[in-house]
Structure 1
């Protein structure tokens, strides 16, 4: 770590594609403060409102990432970005009632090159931002990926939040980790109560990482 990061503002967290609600108390007792979960077209890994309620009851925060496949260049285009952005907004607002101005990360779940970023991922992220902008940016756009993807998306103004994937051999990993510019750093696997999780570090030196610890407060109509 560089001197840009205060260890006092590094917080332990986890992420998983499995329902974490039934283990929420166990996770909290183990010292973890938040769980990363999914929005997706695939129902098996979607965060549900019941699960979110169980996590909140255990005083656990949630951060979310959108992912269908998202693990090859062919899964990234402006059309796909548009579709995934709309689906993410629907799940956040209508299903979960995620509080506004928190974050939704979008996954780039492979070792994308600079060429991939320029020709596939940048158009994908531009489309996501266009959809979010059309709704008044209710949530901050985040990116999950290797160091190149995180740094380029941040530099291009296409991601406010960055989550550096755990694969230490991926492009730009070490440089981006040492920059201290990440909001979440993914680490090695751990098994808790029979479920496999990735361990994460939340970097509060960079302010909010986009997580939330309650449902949105319903607004009153006149």
Structure 2
């Protein structure tokens, strides 16, 4: 039974159908440089989902499907934007997770010189003192990307992308270092979506990113923020 689904657009009147289909968590995207504003999660949309008893998980993913869009400066800017947006627009409590997307099949060289520096920028921003809450960093991408980012201590959690042909997919899948594994899209409760498979037995990776919850006490149960506003 699928209880976690990823939807690219607001489900609106279909939200009750999601709950009745035993869906417990909705994953939604946003970013500072999206070319599809209709996909952006807003406070009103988040409140509607939570009022239906659904948990909400967020992924910051804009034009992060091209290697040239990754560098440390972009990571700093995305981290700063995500931290402020989650706190002031969505109302996400500190200590919960923001996944940052790398939706491309990056080569080893691209991961080393572009993707890892991007996540270093994200991690540094999340570790800095600011007026916004501290959030836990997650990575969404290929197996090779997730593996490199976790190994670098730049994220606590990994969400493995559904593209099985991308580099490192099978080896990362069998490693069970992922917290969520994105499966192929069906339709649940009348909503086109990507279901997620949870691996609640995964061991959190070490992280250089400071958060309100330390790596030793973070658990998959608090990756998504609850059905009430903080």
Deviation at 1:11?
Answer: 6.2
Residue 109 in structure 1 maps to residue 122 in structure 2: no
Deviation at 1:195?
Answer: 3.9
> How many angstroms apart in 1 are the aligned matches of 2:112 and 2:160?
19
Deviation at 1:172?
Answer: 0.8
Match of 1:197 in 2: 193
Residue 214 in structure 1 maps to residue 227 in structure 2: yes
**Matching of residues 63-212 of structure 1 within 5 Å:** 63-135=57-129, 138-192=134-188, 195-206=191-202, 207-208=219-220, 210-212=223-225
> How many angstroms apart in 1 are the aligned matches of 2:117 and 2:226?
32
> TM-score, normalising length from structure 2?
0.84
Match of 1:3 in 2: none
> How many angstroms apart in 2 are the aligned matches of 1:132 and 1:21?
31
Q: Give the secondary structure class of the aligned counterpart of 1:141.
A: strand
> How many angstroms apart in 2 are the aligned matches of 1:34 and 1:165?
17
**Matching of residues 36-51 of structure 1 within 5 Å:** 36-41=27-32, 42=34, 43-51=37-45
> Do the aligned partners of residues 190 and 135 (structure 1) sit closer, same or farther apart at CA in structure 2, a change above 3 Å counting?
farther
Q: Is the 8 A contact 1:146 1:167 kept in 2?
A: yes
> How many angstroms apart in 2 are the aligned matches of 1:26 and 1:194?
7
Deviation at 1:215?
Answer: 4.4
Deviation at 1:192?
Answer: 4.2
> How many angstroms apart in 1 are the aligned matches of 2:190 and 2:160?
25
> How many angstroms apart in 2 are the aligned matches of 1:32 and 1:45?
20
Deviation at 1:135?
Answer: 3.0
Which of 27, 45, 53 pairs up with 1:59?
Answer: 53
> TM-score, normalising length from structure 1?
0.87
| Partner deviation per Cα, 1:86-120 (whole Å, 9 max, x = no partner) | 11111100101101110001111011121111000
- CA-based RMSD of the aligned residues comes to 1.8
Q: Is the 8 A contact 1:40 1:88 kept in 2?
A: yes
From the two aligned structures, give the one with the greater strand fraction: 1
**Matching of residues 30-41 of structure 1 within 5 Å:** 30-41=21-32
Q: Is the 8 A contact 1:96 1:215 kept in 2?
A: no
Q: Is the 8 A contact 1:76 1:120 kept in 2?
A: yes
4+ long deviations beyond 3 Å: 192-195
